[in-house]
Amino acid sequence: MPKFKIYGADSNTAKDISVEVTADTPMDAESIALDRGIFVSRVVEVMPPDSSHSCQSLANITCKVCDQGVMRRRTVHRLSGPAVTVGYIFLIPSILGMIIGGVIMIITIVGTISTSGLFEDVARDQMAHAGISETIISEVINDHEISNTQRDELTDDQKTVLDNSIQSVILGPMATQTSGVVGIGFSIFIIIASIVGGLIGWLLTMKKTILKCKACGAVINAS
Ligand SMILES: [Zn+2]
């Protein structure tokens, strides 16, 4: 049954009044209002809420400022132009920095692992070439030293090669490890700096959704 809104005046107080009644026709609504003591001046049918408009999408909101324009959904930067420019200046190198930092770290790790046995191989070759016995070579590689009796059996040239080899197998890996630690530390520094820079860039270039009136340009926030 349709609903009607009755505008009129209260017969007792003469004040303006409006009531809603349910009736088949406007006539019936009017007579119901009269029975309640209302001098009816106007009867308006109340439209039942249209289900297709109950879920009105944000894109079809009419502007409240000019009452004509349709509000359009737009995505804009939260901050103004210069801040956004600075944001991108932070953002682009920081992405490159993360990639470069990662590559340096991988190269350092791979390099450190692949050179770990290199000094031993070179020392072994040099000692074998100088005619030093396999027993002594093994001791140099494994213990980094030999007994004085073994040393006394060697010629002066062999002693020189032996001392160089001992230094090489001790200091070589240390140097590799040191450069590995420096390389990894450097790459971690680059990655962290890039993450911080990227965060600043992201904050400065953040976007928001607004609704903007096509007619008058009024803007309201949608997010
Ligand atoms: Zn407008």
> Is residue 6 a contact partner of residue 18, using CB atoms and an 8 Å limit?
yes
Residue 143 resides in a domain: yes
Residue position matching structure tokens 């040099």? 126
User: Is the model's pLDDT at 153 over the cut of 90?
Assistant: no
Same domain, 117 and 15: no
Residue 75 is predicted with a pLDDT of 87
CA of 223 to the centre of ligand 1 (A): 19
CA of 213 to the centre of ligand 1 (A): 5
What pLDDT is attached to residue 220? 83
CA of 69 to the centre of ligand 1 (A): 5
- Are residues 99 and 199 located together in one domain of the fold? yes
Q: List, for residues 60-99, the tens digit of each pLDDT value.
A: 678 888 888 888 888 888 888 889 999 999 888 899 999 9
Residues 29 and 126 in one domain: no
Ligand 1 centroid, distance to 55 Cα (angstroms): 22
- Cβ(28)–Cβ(71) below 8 Å: no
Distance 201 CA to ligand 1 centre (A): 33
Q: Taking the CB of residue 23, how many other CB atoms lie within 10 A of it?
A: 19
- Buried residues in 119-128 as b, exposed as e (16+ CB within 10 A): bbeebbebbe
- Cα of 73 vs centre of ligand 1, distance in Å, is 13
How many domains, in total, are found in the chain? 2
Is the separation of the CB atoms in 200 and 93 below 8 Å? Answer: no
Rounded distance from Cα 81 to ligand 1 centre (Å): 24
Same domain, 32 and 137: no
| Residue 63, in any domain of the structure | no
State the residue range of the domain holding 136.
Answer: 79-205
In a domain, 55, yes or no: no
Both structure tokens of 182 = 């420096």
If you average pLDDT over residues 176-183, what whole number do you get?
87
Q: Give yes or no: residues 107 and 172 share one domain.
A: yes
Percent of the chain residues past pLDDT 70, beyond the cut: 94
Confidence of residue 51 (pLDDT cuts 50, 70, 90): very low
- State pLDDT tens for residues 7-38: 999 888 888 888 888 888 888 988 988 898 88
Least confident piece of the model among 37-51, 66-80, 146-160: 37-51
The residue ranges of DSSP E strands in the chain, in sequence order, are: 3-10, 16-22, 38-46, 71-77, 207-213, 219-221
Residue 104 CB contacts under 8 Å (≥ 6 apart), including other chains: 183, 186, 187, 190
CA–centroid distance, residue 49 to ligand 1 (Å): 25
Ligand 1 centroid vs 212 CA: distance in angstroms? 8
Residue 209 C-alpha to ligand 1 middle, in angstroms?
17
Q: How many other C-beta atoms are found inside a 10 Å radius of the C-beta of residue 84?
A: 18
Q: Are residues 43 and 83 in the same domain?
A: no
Same domain? For 42 and 83 the reply is no
Ligand 1 center to 13 CA (angstroms)? 42
Q: Dihedral of the CA atoms 50, 53, 55, 61 (nearest 10)?
A: -150
Q: Are residues 85 and 169 in the same domain?
A: yes
Q: 66 CA distance to ligand 1 centroid (A)?
A: 4
Residues 196 and 87 in one domain: yes
Quick check: is 214 in a domain? no
On whether residue 7 sits in a domain, the answer given is yes
Same domain, yes or no, for 110 and 195?
yes
CATH code: domain of residue 15: 3.10.20
Q: Are residues 199 and 121 in the same domain?
A: yes
Element containing residue 162 per DSSP (H, E): helix 156-204
* 74-83, 97-106, 112-121, 204-213: range with lowest mean pLDDT: 112-121
Q: Contact at 8 Å (CB) between 42 and 8?
A: yes
